[in-house]
Structure 1
C-alpha cells in the first residue's frame, strides 16, 4: 500500500525539506537532552501513571481523560476501529484533510458522508492541513451528537489567528495532540488525546483496545518534557522566528499565488518540476492527495533552505510544456536578506 506523506523517501532524507510541517527551529534542545538521558534498560510503566498525571495537570483535566497513543495516526485508526465495532457506520471528513482519517474509515467500513449531521464520527483539524486555516463547517460539526475528534497537531505552531475552540466545546470534543511536530522531532513517535468530559466509557474502550506499552521510553520522555515550562518558552520563541521566516519565504515566492494560512506552512499554486527539485536536495509536498491539484504545500524553512529553493527554481525547477525551454522566474526578495532571522 502506498501512502502520501512528506519527508524521507527512496532517495533518503531531503537536505532541504519543505514537505513536512515539523518546526524548522527544532529539535527543541531541552527535549533532545531528555531523550539522551532515557533509561532504555527497562519497560515504561504500562499504565503511564506519572505521564498521565503530568499531561492532565498541563491541560487542567482529570487523569482518566488522558488517552496515550503510539502516534496520532495510531489513535486515528484505533478510535475508528473502536467506534466501528460499537456500530458506527458513517464518517464526515473535511474536503481537504490528512489522509489517515479517510484511510481509517475505509479500513473499518465507515461510509464518508457530505453532511456532518449524518455522521457517527467527525474529524476536524485546526489549523487544518494542508491549508493552515479554520474548518468552515466548525459550528455544524461540534454542535451535534456525533463523536468529534479535533486534531490539534498544528495548534502549537499557530503563527496568527486564534482557535475556534471555545468554552464548553472543549469538553465536548476529543482533542488529539502530537507534540513531536511542534518540537521538531517527528522521528520520535508519541501522542495523546484528551477525552470529552462525558466520554469515560469510550476512553475505557480505547484503553482496552490499545496494545501493551504503546509508548516506548523515548516517547514518554518527549511527552513529559513537553509539559515543562522551559519547553513551552522555547516553543513560544520559535514561533517568533517562524513568523519572520514565513514572511521572507512568502515574499520570495510572491510570483505565485500563496493562500492564507495561520500555521507554519502554506499552500501555493504553481507548476513546479518536483523531480528536478528533488535531485537538488529539495522536497515539496504536492497537494493532489489532499484534494488540491495544482497546489503545493510548503513548510516554513530557515533562510538557507529558502536560498537553496530560490536557486533551484531559477535553475529550472519550474515545469514547462514539451519542446519549450524552461522560463526564468523573477522571484521576490532573496532569502539572503534574512540576516539574524535564525
Structure 2
C-alpha cells in the first residue's frame, strides 16, 4: 500500500486556489526592492491600519487563549451592523466562515455563479461537494433562471453570491437575490467589499432565515494579514455555526485589532473615501489610454477589458516593472485585468507603465 492509497481519491482533480504573495516574497522573485513594488493584485488596503489599531494588536495578551464565545467581538460587530449579537459569528477571515457553512449544510452540490471568488469552489470540493458553476450573463449580472434550475436539478442546498462581485465589481441586484431566496437552499451573500459601495442586504435576514451575509475586516480596515471576518444570519443558524466552529478560531491579536477598528471606524471612513476617489481617478486615467475598457465597479478594484493585445502579456510586462495586477487564466476572463485601487502614487506608477506599453 502506498501513501496515495490512504488519501482521498476525489481530490486528485482539485483545482488549486491561486493565492497572491506578500511583498517580501514578490520582491525576491522579481529582484527589486520592496519599496519599488506597486501591489495592485490583491485588493488590499495599501494605506494600512490606523496606528491605534496596530497598537491594540501589539498589546494583546498572546499567552492567553482567545474567548471561544467571541463575546466582546460579536457585540461590537452587532453594534456596527445593527443586529443582535446572537446573529453574529466571527472567524479567521471570511474563508473560515465559508468553510463552516459548507460543513454545516453538507450539501451534495454548491452553486456558484461565475466568474466569482475562487474559494467557494475550492472549499466546496475539499468538503466533498460538487461545485456547480453557472456562467453569468455577458454584463456579469446573474442568470437567475439557470441558478434556480441548477439548485432544483442537483439538490444543491447552498448558493454563494458576492456583493459587489469579485472580480467583476458589479453589485448584486436585490430583485435577483429575493428570487433566489425563495429556493429551498441557504443563500450566502459575501459582502467583503460592501464598505466601498453598494447597499447591504443584511436587513433581508429578518424575513429570510435562509440568508447568510459574510463580511471581513481585510479590506476596509486593512487587516488582511490578521484574518478576521464574520457572518450575520438568523440567531438559529448562527448558533449552529458556533457549535461546529473551532473554539479559538479568532486569535487574540486579530480580535484586539478588529475591536479597535470598529472603535475608530469614523477615522477609517476617511481612508475608505480616499480609496473610492482613487478608484474613480484610476478608472478615468487608465480608460483614457484608449485600449483598456473599465467595467462599472462599486468595490475597491476595477476589472478592465483589454483590447488589441493579450491581457496575459500586459500583466507579465507590468510585473517585470514591479507593478502587480491580477490576470485570470480562464476563458471568461482571459481578455481582462483586475486592478486594485491603491494610493495616488500607485496609480501614477501604473499609468506611467501602461503608457510605456501603449
Aligned to 2:164: 127
| Aligned counterpart in structure 2 of residue 236 of structure 1, from 259, 263, 269 | 269
Q: Secondary structure, in 3 states, of the residue corresponding to 1:115?
A: helix
- The verdict on how the C-alpha distance between 1:299 and 1:122 changes in structure 2, with shifts beyond 3 A counting, is same
- Structure 1 unmatched ranges of 5 or more: 317-328, 330-342
- The verdict on how the C-alpha distance between 1:248 and 1:203 changes in structure 2, with shifts beyond 3 A counting, is closer
Superposition CA RMSD, Å: 2.5
Structure 2: how far apart are the matches of 1:70 and 1:102? 18
Structure 1: how far apart are the matches of 2:130 and 2:94? 21
Deviation at 1:302, TM superposition (A): 1.5
Which residues in structure 2 correspond to 1:31-180 (within 5 Å)? 31-84=53-106, 88-113=107-132, 114-116=146-148, 117-118=151-152, 119-135=156-172, 137-158=176-197, 161-163=198-200, 166-167=203-204, 168=206, 172-180=210-218
Deviation at 1:274, TM superposition (A): 2.5
Deviation at 1:19, TM superposition (A): 0.5
Deviation at 1:165, TM superposition (A): 5.6
Deviation at 1:153, TM superposition (A): 0.8
Aligned to 1:260: 296
Question: Number of residue pairs matched?
Answer: 307
1:117-145, Cα deviation, whole Å (9 max, x unpaired): 42300111111111111235423223333
- The verdict on how the C-alpha distance between 1:80 and 1:235 changes in structure 2, with shifts beyond 3 A counting, is same
Q: Secondary structure, in 3 states, of the residue corresponding to 1:243?
A: helix
Structure 2: how far apart are the matches of 1:144 and 1:170? 11
Aligned to 2:348: 307
1:25-82, Cα deviation, whole Å (9 max, x unpaired): 3323332232222222322222222222222333333332221211211221221122
| Aligned counterpart in structure 2 of residue 17 of structure 1, from 9, 21, 39 | 39
- The verdict on how the C-alpha distance between 1:189 and 1:232 changes in structure 2, with shifts beyond 3 A counting, is same
User: Do structure 1's residue 6 and structure 2's residue 20 form an aligned pair?
Assistant: yes
Structure 2: how far apart are the matches of 1:195 and 1:265? 27
Q: Secondary structure, in 3 states, of the residue corresponding to 1:94?
A: strand
2:300–2:341 Cα contact (<8 Å) kept: yes
Deviation at 1:187, TM superposition (A): 0.8
Aligned to 2:261: 226
1:99–1:289 Cα contact (<8 Å) kept: no
User: Do structure 1's residue 195 and structure 2's residue 230 form an aligned pair?
Assistant: no
- The verdict on how the C-alpha distance between 1:33 and 1:24 changes in structure 2, with shifts beyond 3 A counting, is same
1:90-148, Cα deviation, whole Å (9 max, x unpaired): 22111211011111222223234442342300111111111111235423223333111
| TM-score, length basis structure 2 | 0.78
User: Do structure 1's residue 184 and structure 2's residue 219 form an aligned pair?
Assistant: no
Q: Going by fraction, where is helix more abundant, 1 or 2? A: 2
Structure 2: how far apart are the matches of 1:162 and 1:145? 25
- Structure 2 unmatched ranges of 5 or more: 1-14, 28-33, 133-145
Structure 1: how far apart are the matches of 2:325 and 2:319? 8
- The verdict on how the C-alpha distance between 1:243 and 1:215 changes in structure 2, with shifts beyond 3 A counting, is closer
